[in-house]
Structure 1
Amino acid sequence: MQLAITSLNSGSNGNCYYIGNEKEAVLVDAGISCRETEKRMKRLGLSMNKVKAIFISHEHTDHVRGLAVLARKYQLPVYITPGTEQRTRFDLGGLVLRPFLAYDPVQVGKLSVTAFPKYHDASDPHSFVVEYKGIKVGVFTDIGVVCEHLKYHFAECHAAFLEANYDEDLLEQGRYPYYLKNRIRGGRGHLANKQALELFMAYKPSFMSHVLLSHLSKDNNDPDLVKALFEANAGDTEVIVASRFEETPVFKIIYSAGTPARKLAPDFGQVQLGLFDELV
């Protein structure tokens, strides 16, 4: 038993992540065009016929740009919260929209998808964990701060797409206006390399085989820098930087038993989220 995972694209220009078993798969977000999604999956030897649903993390354009065309063409149900649906700028008319609730698992064939809330400047943003026969893969991007929800789920994952959006020095010295720098690093924006690394070092379980560093900023990060940073602390975990220009290879995630790192009882109280415009 195994899960196949790939990042079809990761960055402010579009996000789309594939997770599937032998018979069915889901996409988390659809931020690149239908044509590009098809093209990249074909290059990887993946079939759109295996995709049974799309899960939307939040309404920002880089996560929903290709949703309407892709879902209509393949008649795919779209799992999206009412708050996210209302704030989406694209016409979702005619799509099969299904609401989901945090911590209420959704069955897609033999895949189980569980959402949990996160801090981001969107109406109702969520992260996801996809499970199949004990294998867990997390999609943890667009996160302003590491909360108890994230720590808890990261410690259970065999693989994870983990945001490492910016290097603090590059952001501070970069061309962005001051207000935008503050939005990115202000607790409802994105995770810095240092924040992501601290989570990785403290809560990575011994059985985590792959971490895909995701949603890197084009201007405020350096793929070589962040990869070296994580590899120095990765042990047996393979570190991959997800590209904003192309798909990653397909990685096979295999079940391995073990004790999660620093297992904790999380505070699952309501995460208060603000309503803001989209981050650049």
Structure 2
Amino acid sequence: MQLFITSLNSGSNGNCYYVGNEREAVLIDAGISCRETERRMERLGLSLQTVKAIFVSHEHSDHIRGIPQLAKKHQIPVFITPGTLNNSGLPQTGFPLRPLRAYEPVWIGELCITAFPKHHDASDPHSFLVAGRDTKVGVFTDIGAPCEHLIHHFKQCHAAFLEANYDEDMLEKGRYPYFLKNRIRGGKGHLSNQQALDLFKTHKPAFMSHVLLSHLSKDNNCPQLTKDLFSLHRDTTEVIVASRFEETPVYAVCA
């Protein structure tokens, strides 16, 4: 089955990732406003009527800020773990809420969405694998360190949104206070370019057609530097940097 993917926004100012087929789609996180989500999807020729669910990775505001208005206006079910919901501050009325549990597949039409745990400084954080029959797309951001869960799922992906948050030298020499630098690189913060590249080089399957480098830091990374770094090792994989200011094009992915 062919899947269509785009990053509607990616960064500490808001994260929202779209994965769908020709009939139904899901959003992974909704950290930009309802209006911006609508505008960006319309520019891409995508309809919110096809979005049948929102899946929440964790409770940080850049991943959930747009949910209350978006889910209420369009009556989109929100799949969220109890731990994340309890710490999110999200309203528990006005739109459908559905429980989310690790390794329990959720079927949205012909899409199968599986959540699995990740390392991040949140109450109950999860990454996602979205499958349309044999075609699989991973959403792997806000990860403090690569773990066996991540490696196992990354090896299956025909496309992936993969965090490459910071350049180690830029972070070390930058203006952030010491405690924040340690939070970012301390194992429950974010993946560095080098950590993401090591995963990419070592575990990328030969059939991966697209990697969308995601959640780049505004202050501690450079989009061109990151793209150049991965392009050296891309083989037949298209390397895209997901912007923190605008949507990417829609990419078609198939097994």
- TM-score under structure 1 length normalisation: 0.90
Per-residue CA deviations over 1:114-138 (Å, capped at 9, x if unaligned) read: 0000000000000000000100000
Per-residue CA deviations over 1:197-251 (Å, capped at 9, x if unaligned) read: 0000000000000000000000000000010000000100000000000000000
For 1:40, the equivalent position in structure 2 comes to 40
One-letter amino acid of the structure 2 residue matched with residue 22 of structure 1? E
For 2:55, the equivalent position in structure 1 comes to 55
For 1:234, the equivalent position in structure 2 comes to 234
* Distance in 2 of aligned mates of 1:158 and 1:83: 30
For 2:219, the equivalent position in structure 1 comes to 219
For 2:181, the equivalent position in structure 1 comes to 181
For 1:141, the equivalent position in structure 2 comes to 141
Q: Does 2:52 align with 1:15? A: no
* Distance in 2 of aligned mates of 1:116 and 1:23: 25
Q: Is the 8 A contact 1:71 1:78 kept in 2?
A: yes
The residue correspondences of 1:1-280 to structure 2 (distance < 5 A) are 1-255=1-255
* Distance in 2 of aligned mates of 1:254 and 1:61: 32
One-letter amino acid of the structure 2 residue matched with residue 190 of structure 1? H
Per-residue CA deviations over 1:5-55 (Å, capped at 9, x if unaligned) read: 000000000000000001000000000000000000000000000000000
One-letter amino acid of the structure 1 residue matched with residue 78 of structure 2? V
Q: Where in structure 1 do 4 or more consecutive aligned residues deviate above 6 Å?
A: none
Q: Provide the aligned length of Structure 1 versus Structure 2.
A: 255
Q: Could you tell me how far 1:92 is from its partner in structure 2?
A: 3.7
* Distance in 1 of aligned mates of 2:119 and 2:2: 30
* Distance in 2 of aligned mates of 1:58 and 1:148: 20
Contiguous gaps of at least 5 residues in structure 1: 256-280
* Distance in 2 of aligned mates of 1:183 and 1:92: 30
Q: Is the 8 A contact 1:68 1:92 kept in 2?
A: no
Per-residue CA deviations over 1:118-160 (Å, capped at 9, x if unaligned) read: 0000000000000001000000000000000000000000000
Q: Secondary structure at the match of 1:53?
A: strand
* Distance in 1 of aligned mates of 2:11 and 2:90: 19
* Distance in 2 of aligned mates of 1:80 and 1:108: 15
Q: Is the 8 A contact 1:25 1:53 kept in 2?
A: yes
Q: Secondary structure at the match of 1:73?
A: helix
Q: Could you tell me how far 1:101 is from its partner in structure 2?
A: 1.1
Q: Secondary structure at the match of 1:46?
A: coil
Q: Is the 8 A contact 1:56 1:64 kept in 2?
A: yes
Contiguous gaps of at least 5 residues in structure 2: none
One-letter amino acid of the structure 2 residue matched with residue 20 of structure 1? G
Q: Could you tell me how far 1:90 is from its partner in structure 2?
A: 3.5
* Distance in 2 of aligned mates of 1:230 and 1:92: 41
- TM-score under structure 2 length normalisation: 0.99
* Distance in 2 of aligned mates of 1:7 and 1:160: 11
One-letter amino acid of the structure 1 residue matched with residue 152 of structure 2? Y
One-letter amino acid of the structure 1 residue matched with residue 187 of structure 2? G
For 1:268, the equivalent position in structure 2 comes to none
Q: Secondary structure at the match of 1:14?
A: coil
